[in-house]
Chain A
Amino acid sequence: MTDESIYVEVKAYWSPTRASAERITQMQLEFSLNHYPPKGGDSIAEIAWSTGSVEQAMAELPSFVPEQVREICRSLLQPWPEGRYTEAYGRCGGILNLYTPPWGEPEDEAWAAMLAGWQQARFADEQSRQEALQALEQRWNHTPHPFWAGLTPAQVLVGGGRREAELAEEFLARLKETYDGHGFSSDGDALQQTLLLLRGWQVQPRGDGLTPQEIILAERDELLARRTRALQQAGRADP
């Protein structure tokens, strides 16, 4: 028996597509891994970044977490690549991207356009050509992407935090209240109505004048800054 009580809450959500239902778990795990004690201390993700050890970070997970969930956490905690953050294609992108039909590199018009520009450009030698490609990859990592609701790949990869978790719960509850049991003419109709509700919700200013979209982007930037700090304190490079 530990001095920490364990609280398990089971919730039911309504989701327009199977893909989005499956992503809810990943989104919530990202929130949990980024959770840090308000009075100071590191999140599980920060432990992984600062130590470079996924297993050391995994040791922080409560013992009751099932192996299937541990596997997902392990993949979410993997070190970020030095080049392009292609892992972002496999991430849920938080509540703003939860319902976007799955896509990857073949659909990535933004990267294709950047790459085409690089391929057409002339370089003095092979080294400068490769350096230009590396710079391009970094630019892609930190440029808002049209298919990620304006998040950068870095913002996608870092995951959401406490405030996004609260906002996501709010939206998921609203979605359930609005559409659970509602008859749709097709799967596409259900998806479209969900996205219309989401896009309307994300731009409605709240009491503090900020929209959910602004709160989410600011928090992901904060998490990226915490990541940079964690890497610096550990004397590790931030690619």
Chain B
Amino acid sequence: MAKTKRKGKRQRLSSSYRRLVRRADRVLEENDVDLRPDNWQQVVLDWLEPAGPDQDTLAAFMAAHETELGLPWAREMLRLEVFFQADDYEQIIAHYERGLSRYPRCGLVELWAADNVFRRAGDYWRARGMYCFAMEQMPDHPKPYYEVGFMHYLLGDFPGALDWFNQAADRVEADDAMLGSVIYYNRALVRYVVEGDRKAALADIREALRRRPDYAQAKVARQALRRGELRWIP
């Protein structure tokens, strides 16, 4: 009986996945997406619009694996983008597993999917492997280091979190406002707990606010640190 129930649930999930893939295809049609052997790489870049150096990373990945990827992979990537735009994390994870797992792993795609596996599905151990893969593929990218640092913080490993945040801070660009500010903000708090170094923590908070002057949590943390109180509001 239990077996039939499980099978029933699997079938429902499978049918829901296929239905959403069809819906994504309709979205692509409505947007006149025209994937061809001579343009699929550019269409993927245009649709996904990866920021800054990520654009070069994705372009290099497609060039390196051109023969293994091609039109079918490009279509799966565009579907993935539709699911990202719909903010449907369950479908993002399902599509990462079912649509993309047969192709070479791309560090950038792992990074995007891992955020959903980690923060929304709460599957920390799986996400950890994906972030580590992203680090191997993109050793200069600050985000996987930051995410693993945040994971260590959530696991209660504050010294480990500090190590990872240090590595993220070493890699983040000086003009990266969003990621840079959260890296410095979190490093400040962990640094204060692990090392008790209020000056260093305040310097990190100042750096977070330099990058994002309207960062409300950093302002609160700055006041608390100045008063010598630890008010942890991540």
Residues of A at the B interface (CB closer than 8 Å) are 17, 96-97, 100-101, 103, 107, 146-150, 185-192, 195-196, 198-200, 202-205
Q: Is the CB of A150 within 8 A of B118?
A: no
Q: Indicate if B193 sits at the interface (CB-CB under 8 A).
A: yes
- Return the contact of B156 from the options A150, A185, A189, A190 (Cβ within 8 A): A150
Given known contacts A149-B157, A196-B154, A188 and B122 CB-to-CB distance under 8 angstroms? yes
Q: Indicate if B153 sits at the interface (CB-CB under 8 A).
A: yes
Residues of B at the A interface (CB closer than 8 Å) are 89, 118-125, 128, 152-160, 193, 230, 232-234
B contact face: mostly helix, strand, loop, or mixed: helix
Which chain B residue has the least Cβ–Cβ distance from A101?
B124
For B118, the chain A residues whose CB sits under 8 A away are: 188
Q: Is the CB of A204 within 8 A of B232?
A: yes
Given known contacts A199-B153, A203-B232, A191 and B122 CB-to-CB distance under 8 angstroms? yes
Q: Is the CB of A101 within 8 A of B230?
A: no
Given A100-B124, A203-B193, 9 new contacts (CB under 8 A): A97-B156, A101-B124, A146-B155, A147-B155, A147-B157, A149-B157, A150-B157, A192-B122, A203-B232
Q: Is the CB of A203 within 8 A of B157?
A: no
Complex CA distance for A204 and B123, rounded to whole angstroms: 28
Give the residue among B118, B123, B124, B193 with the most A Cβ atoms within 10 A. Answer: B124
Could you name 23 residue pairs across A and B whose Cβ atoms are closer than 8 Å? A100-B155, A101-B124, A103-B125, A146-B152, A146-B155, A146-B157, A146-B160, A148-B156, A149-B156, A186-B89, A186-B120, A187-B121, A188-B121, A188-B122, A189-B120, A195-B154, A196-B154, A198-B156, A199-B154, A199-B234, A200-B233, A203-B230, A204-B230
For B158, the chain A residues whose CB sits under 8 A away are: 150, 203
For A100, the chain B residues whose CB sits under 8 A away are: 124, 155-156
Nearest chain B CB to A213's CB is how many angstroms away?
A: 8
Which chain B residue has the least Cβ–Cβ distance from A203?
B193
Q: Is the CB of B122 within 8 A of A187?
A: yes
Q: Is the CB of A199 within 8 A of B156?
A: yes
Which chain B residue has the least Cβ–Cβ distance from A190?
B122
Q: Is the CB of B160 within 8 A of A185?
A: no
- Return the contact of B154 from the options A17, A186, A190, A192 (Cβ within 8 A): A192
Complex CA distance for A97 and B118, rounded to whole angstroms: 17
Nearest chain B CB to A73's CB is how many angstroms away?
A: 27
For A191, the chain B residues whose CB sits under 8 A away are: 122
Which chain A residue has the least Cβ–Cβ distance from B129?
A107
Complex CA distance for A195 and B158, rounded to whole angstroms: 13
For B121, the chain A residues whose CB sits under 8 A away are: 186-188
Q: Is the CB of B157 within 8 A of A200?
A: no
Q: Is the CB of A196 within 8 A of B119?
A: no
Nearest chain A CB to B10's CB is how many angstroms away?
A: 19
Q: Is the CB of A200 within 8 A of B232?
A: yes
Complex CA distance for A100 and B128, rounded to whole angstroms: 13
Given known contacts A103-B125, A199-B232, A204-B232, A192 and B119 CB-to-CB distance under 8 angstroms? yes
Given known contacts A199-B232, A200-B232, A203-B232, A96 and B119 CB-to-CB distance under 8 angstroms? no
Q: Is the CB of A101 within 8 A of B232?
A: no
Complex CA distance for A1 and B193, rounded to whole angstroms: 53
